[in-house]
């Protein structure tokens, strides 16, 4: 129990579940999942995604939580405690989580700005929102504005962590996640009743088996990448969250609930975003990437019109803000728990508040290049633009198009799939599956043996190949 005295613990099973689901439900669910589903075979993609969640995501989620609870440490210290020669998987998770939360702060800052704009306009103010793409471009190319809101989002994230594990993360998530769910339901019901929404449902849910046959490995790679990012795997999050679990917590049940809730909310988000785009914007809508969220959805509420449209826009972007904050809190906690454990391992006082302040400042500094190049909107400050000063013949690839792409390449494209691959191999062949089953109070499971030894490693090799091809091809 000494570890809980120093490091904190969850106050309740419900609080942990809300925090873990909040970590899983992020910006990727709200616009990445629906587009990827529609563009990769519709229902066929969903089927592959669910199979992968059951066969791979569930096993890895359970493994990370079990490793965290067994060792009572965050990612690096946990893997070092298992084997002092192999802490590299933990470092991959910490680096990935830190990189991801940096560009999350920029995207979250944008969400805050849109939320504020729609709120002011809904209650009679003017001039806080322009028209669709024009406003997006004017805001993202104003460096000090985007940096200001990035800093604000980082401060909110750090402030929640200042409350501690139970008083900060758990308390916020227990209020935020039910609020997110009910606001999402209300918006889905409204959009479902609008003319043209049925085209969005057809885009998402029509199974395209021919596309799946012709592009199976591409669909598999896309679905697996989305699933790993969505479930907060291979970023050190669930190891850190698992380290705060009490010994009587039912890990297999929790992993199943997290997987189920994450998938349901992703489908709800898809049932809102894509039908709304078809109903209110039509063929001219941006249906992928950042512009789906910040240009197309802005245009949706603008076209609904009046204060009611602005009020719906406020509710939507408030929902997005909540999803972004619950994820950023868990991502920043990876760095914070690493710093706290590092101090404890050196027999020093944890000084969690000081560690949070240092991590928040570092993440903000790391986010600054993403904010300054406006996610690729200002060509001269992108990685390509900067590097071409020394390498004029450098070609445009996915990784150097923008700083957010460069950061995504390092984290999602390389470190996360490689970390998941190594974790599964260590569990399957080095530590044996009993490392997980003993902590989860399960009997010997041949299914888990199969998952950790064959299914997860093969899937991660496919994902790693697909991600490298996507970013470097």
pLDDT digits (tens, 9 = 90+) for 418-434: 999 999 999 999 988 99
Specify whether the CB–CB gap between 270 and 33 falls below 8 A.
yes
Query: 202 burial class (0-12, 13-18, 19+ CB within 10 angstroms)?
Result: middle
Which residue has better confidence, 62 or 35? Answer: 62
For the chain, percent of residues with pLDDT exceeding 90? 68
pLDDT band of residue 149 (cuts 50, 70, 90) is: very high
Q: For residue 135, is pLDDT > 60? A: yes
Q: For residue 3, is pLDDT > 80? A: no
Cα–Cα distance for residue pair 411/191, rounded to 1 Å? 35
Residue 433 lies in a domain: no
Q: For residue 346, is pLDDT > 50? A: yes
Domain count within the chain? 1
Q: For residue 21, is pLDDT > 70? A: yes
Q: For residue 1, is pLDDT > 50? A: no
State the pLDDT at residue 64: 96
pLDDT band of residue 7 (cuts 50, 70, 90) is: low
Q: What is the dihedral of CA 216, 219, 225, 228, to 10 degrees?
A: -80
Of 57, 72, 70, 71, the C-alpha closest to 20 is 57
State the pLDDT at residue 113: 94
279-286 own/partner pairs: CB under 8 Å, 24+ apart? 279/191, 279/194, 279/195, 279/196, 279/197, 279/199, 279/200, 280/194, 280/196, 280/304, 282/196
Residue 442 lies in a domain: no
Mean pLDDT of 136-160: 92
> Which range of residues forms the domain containing residue 157?
2-373
Specify whether the CB–CB gap between 259 and 57 falls below 8 A.
yes
CATH of the domain at 64: 1.10.4160.10
Residues 6 or more apart whose CB falls under 8 angstroms from that of 297 comprise 273, 276, 277, 313, 316
Residue 407 lies in a domain: no
Residue 454 lies in a domain: no
For the chain, percent of residues with pLDDT exceeding 70? 98
Residue 380 lies in a domain: no
State the pLDDT at residue 132: 67
CA distances to 175, 176, 236, 268, 326 from 182, in Å: 11, 10, 29, 11, 16
The residue written with tokens 């959009």 in the block is 191
DSSP class per residue in 323-367: HHHHHHHHHHHHHHHHHHHHHHHTT----HHHHHHHHHHHHHHHH
Mean pLDDT of 109-130: 88
Q: For residue 2, is pLDDT > 70? A: no
The answer to whether the Cα torsion of 48, 51, 54, 56 is positive or negative is negative
Q: For the whole model, what pTM was predicted? A: 0.94
Cα–Cα distance for residue pair 6/108, rounded to 1 Å? 31
Query: 347 burial class (0-12, 13-18, 19+ CB within 10 angstroms)?
Result: exposed
Q: For residue 5, is pLDDT > 60? A: no
Q: For residue 128, is pLDDT > 80? A: no
Residue 420 lies in a domain: no
Q: For residue 375, is pLDDT > 60? A: yes
The residue written with tokens 């998952």 in the block is 451
Residue 389 lies in a domain: no
H/E element, 272: helix 251-280
State the pLDDT at residue 126: 76
Residue 403 lies in a domain: no
């Amino acid at each position: 129990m000494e570890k809980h005295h120093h490091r904190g613990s969850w106050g309740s099973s419900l609080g942990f579940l809300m925090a873990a689901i909040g970590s899983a439900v992020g910006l990727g669910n709200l616009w990445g999942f629906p587009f990827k589903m529609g563009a990769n075979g519709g229902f066929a993609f969903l089927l592959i995604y669910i199979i992968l969640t059951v066969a791979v995501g569930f096993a890895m989620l359970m493994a990370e939580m079990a490793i965290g609870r067994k060792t009572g440490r965050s990612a690096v210290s946990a893997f070092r405690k298992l084997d002092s020669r192999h802490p590299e998987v933990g470092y991959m998770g910490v680096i990935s989580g830190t990189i991801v939360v940096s560009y999350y702060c920029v995207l979250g800052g944008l969400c805050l700005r849109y939320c504020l704009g729609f709120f002011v306009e809904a209650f009679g103010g003017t001039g806080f929102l322009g028209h669709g793409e024009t406003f997006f471009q004017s805001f993202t190319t104003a460096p000090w504005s985007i940096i200001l809101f990035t800093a604000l989002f980082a401060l909110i994230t750090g402030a929640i962590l200042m409350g501690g594990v139970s008083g900060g993360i758990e308390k916020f998530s227990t209020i935020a996640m039910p609020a997110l769910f009910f606001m999402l339901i209300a918006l889905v019901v409204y959009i479902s009743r609008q003319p043209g929404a049925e085209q969005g449902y057809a885009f998402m849910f029509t199974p395209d088996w021919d596309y799946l046959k012709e592009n199976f490995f591409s669909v598999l790679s896309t679905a697996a990448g989305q699933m790993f990012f969505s479930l907060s795997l291979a970023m050190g999050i669930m190891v850190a969250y698992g380290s705060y679990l009490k010994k009587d917590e039912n890990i297999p049940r929790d992993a199943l609930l997290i997987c189920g809730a994450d998938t349901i909310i992703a489908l709800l988000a898809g049932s809102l975003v894509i039908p709304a785009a078809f109903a209110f914007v039509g063929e001219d809508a941006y249906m992928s990437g950042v512009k789906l969220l910040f240009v197309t959805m802005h245009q949706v509420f603008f076209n609904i019109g009046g204060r009611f449209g602005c009020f719906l826009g406020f509710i939507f972007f408030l929902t997005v803000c909540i999803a972004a904050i619950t994820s950023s809190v868990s991502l920043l906690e990876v760095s914070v728990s690493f710093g706290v454990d590092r101090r404890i391992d050196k027999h020093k006082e944890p000084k969690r508040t000081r560690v949070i302040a240092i991590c928040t400042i570092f993440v903000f500094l790391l986010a600054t290049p993403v904010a300054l190049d406006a996610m690729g909107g200002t060509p001269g400050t992108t990685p390509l633009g900067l590097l071409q000063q020394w390498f004029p013949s450098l070609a445009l690839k996915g990784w150097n198009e923008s700083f957010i792409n460069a950061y995504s390449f390092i984290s999602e494209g390389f470190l996360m799939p490689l970390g998941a691959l190594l974790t599964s191999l260590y569990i399957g062949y080095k530590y044996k599956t009993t490392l997980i089953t003993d902590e989860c109070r399960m009997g010997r499971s041949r299914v888990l043996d199969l998952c950790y030894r064959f299914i997860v490693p093969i899937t991660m090799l496919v994902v790693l190949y697909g991600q490298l091809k996507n970013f470097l091809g």
